[in-house]
A and B are shown apart, each in its own frame.
Chain A
Amino acid sequence: GQQVMQIPQYQHVQEGEDFTTYCNSSTTLSNIQWYKQRPGGHPVFLIQLVKSGEVKKQKRLTFQFGEAKKNSSLHITATQTTDVGTYFCAETQGGSEKLVFGKGTKLTVNP
């Protein structure tokens, strides 16, 4: 069945360091979405990637979709304490609106 693998599971950085989380699938993805969940909060949509090789930026966040549409990454430049939380990738397939989430990468930032 559908499955997205996300690595690493945990990442602890010093404030100002960069951070990257990776999402991999065994099947070709029609699109990939990224969500952030703050501690005690709910998932909040960050971005959706649809095209092969797509790169999108949101301030310090850079999102990439692999050329083969089987992997994606989220990179944060110069982390801040406000970046703390768990970052999830989620895939949909074939026009389905069902989201299949990875297990997430929990980011902690030391001030």
Chain B
Amino acid sequence: DAGVTQSPTHLIKTRGQQVTLRCSPKSGHDTVSWYQQALGQGPQFIFQYYEEEERQRGNFPDRFSGHQFPNYSSELNVNALLLGDSALYLCASSSTGPAEAFFGQGTRLTVV
């Protein structure tokens, strides 16, 4: 079992550009959540996908959007990148209900 896999691992983008991050959940998991972790902070919830629909959303602007595919994999898109979007983006998968979340290794995004 490969666990949660994310790609790419590192990314450098210019302010104003757009970025797409990808996540494959752990086998058997149908729920994917995305978190943003700034340096020295705890992960902040962006949104969660279940059955290809956004089920919950945190306090992030509309520049952050996502998608879940029929195979439960997910993408996180960020438009009009700002310097403040530089962070570690974590994908977590879980089965339905408040259960243990399995995190991927994250994508380190740097906006210059």
Segment 81-97 of B: residues with Cβ below 8 Å from A: 90, 92, 94, 96-97
Interface residues on A, range: 20 to 34
Contact for B98 among A45, A88, A97, CB less than 8 A = A97
A90 cross-chain contacts in B, Cβ below 8 A = 42
In the bound complex, do residue B42 and residue A103 qualify as a contact, i.e. CB atoms below 8 Å apart?
yes
Residue-wise, chain B 6-50 has the 8 Å CB interface mask toward A (1 for contact) of 000000000000000000000000010101000001111100100
**A97 and B94 in contact, given A41-B105, A43-B103, A103-B41 (Cβ under 8 angstroms):** yes
Residue-wise, chain A 58-93 has the 8 Å CB interface mask toward B (1 for contact) of 000000000000000000000000000000101010
Interface residues on B, range: 20 to 34
User: A109 within 8 Å of B by Cβ?
Assistant: no
Q: How many A-B residue pairs have CB under 8 A?
A: 62
User: A48 within 8 Å of B by Cβ?
Assistant: yes
In the bound complex, do residue A44 and residue B103 qualify as a contact, i.e. CB atoms below 8 Å apart?
yes
User: B66 within 8 Å of A by Cβ?
Assistant: no
18 sample A-B contacts, Cβ–Cβ < 8 Å, listed by A number: A31-B98, A42-B90, A43-B90, A43-B92, A48-B98, A95-B97, A96-B56, A96-B98, A97-B31, A97-B33, A97-B48, A97-B56, A97-B94, A97-B96, A100-B45, A101-B35, A101-B42, A104-B42
Given contacts A95-B97, A103-B41, 17 further A-B contacts (CB under 8 A): A6-B42, A30-B98, A43-B43, A43-B101, A45-B101, A48-B99, A48-B100, A92-B98, A97-B33, A97-B99, A98-B33, A98-B45, A99-B45, A99-B92, A100-B45, A101-B35, A103-B42
